[in-house]
Structure 1
Amino acid sequence: MSDGGPGSSLAQPLRPPSAGRAAALAGLVVLGAAVGLAGALVQAAWFPGGLLLALAGAAGLFLGGSYALGSRSGAVAPAAGWIVAVVLLTTTRPEGDFLFGAGGGSYLFLLGGMALAVICATVGAGRRPGAGSARLGK
């Protein structure tokens, strides 16, 4: 069993991501922003079905990114893009225009999406130490 000693994979220093992984993370950030924008438009259009559809799309992206990259950073990257896009859409412009209305659905979309981001980053595929064929716990 690995205890984090000098020969353990847990004791290895962190390395910068490869170019392919950095590109995948950047793509997930952009995709998260796109899903946030689409969700902001859909959530108010067909309430409550649009809200559920927008949150399901966000959860699918967060969890799918986590499993695609095999780490929690795959869920954090699209969540960061989603949060930035949604928060930027909530700000009012000098003309007085804004995308979100002051209704319960908008708040459910904002808070529900953030909660889903935390849940998917926690539950998603995290780093696992390189274990042999032995079962853990024995």
Structure 2
Amino acid sequence: MSANGPGSLLAQPLGRPSAGRIAAYLGLLVLGAVVGLAGALVQAAWFPGGLLLALAGAAGLFLGGAYATGGRGGAVAPVVGWIVTVILLTTARPEGDFLFGAGLGSYLFLLGGMALAVICATVGAGRQPRSGAARLGK
């Protein structure tokens, strides 16, 4: 590695995130919660189609957030909002009411959404070097 070159991307300091980036992450977190709530309602209403629609909406938000922010943090922020909302909706209230039924669709929504979250956070747009070279160190 050259002493004058930009060095490894992992060795670069990240710096402080801007106010716009923080606002984008908070917006994606809220959107993740909204998509989780909407998906919980839709997947139970129209079983096969609603489940696919709910999972497609979640995947679109997760992957779109990664590409919109240019990093994997854009996929993680809506995932956090989605998971917190879905987990809170699965808990029973003292009256015995809860939003999710104990059916196959609910479990597929939970597990499928978690699998999509991992896939989208892994495949999502990672930070790329700013130089025009195809390989680092060139």
Question: Is the TM-score greater than 0.5?
Answer: yes
Q: 1:89 is matched by which residue type in structure 2?
A: L
Distance in 1 of aligned mates of 2:96 and 2:70: 43
1:136, distance to aligned residue in structure 2 (A): 3.3
Deviation track 1:72-128 (CA, whole Å, cap 9, x = no partner) reads 000000000000000000000000000000001000000000100100010010011
Distance in 1 of aligned mates of 2:114 and 2:90: 14
Gapped regions of structure 1 (runs ≥ 5): none
Match of 1:135 in 2: 134
Distance in 2 of aligned mates of 1:52 and 1:74: 23
Match of 1:113 in 2: 113
Match of 1:74 in 2: 74
Distance in 2 of aligned mates of 1:130 and 1:14: 14
Match of 2:41 in 1: 41
1:29/1:77 contact within 8 Å kept: yes
1:6, distance to aligned residue in structure 2 (A): 7.8
1:28/1:78 contact within 8 Å kept: yes
1:9/1:130 contact within 8 Å kept: no
Distance in 2 of aligned mates of 1:12 and 1:51: 42
**How many correspondences in the alignment?**
136
1:12, distance to aligned residue in structure 2 (A): 1.5
Deviation track 1:32-90 (CA, whole Å, cap 9, x = no partner) reads 00000000000010010000000000000000000000100000000000000000000
Q: 1:27 is matched by which residue type in structure 2?
A: G
Let me know the Cα RMSD of the aligned residues.
Answer: 2.1
When normalised by structure 2's length, the TM-score is 0.91
When normalised by structure 1's length, the TM-score is 0.91
Q: 1:119 is matched by which residue type in structure 2?
A: I
1:25/1:77 contact within 8 Å kept: yes
Give 4+ residue runs of structure 1 displaced > 6 Å after superposition.
none
Gapped regions of structure 2 (runs ≥ 5): none
Distance in 2 of aligned mates of 1:67 and 1:8: 24
Q: 2:49 is matched by which residue type in structure 1?
A: G
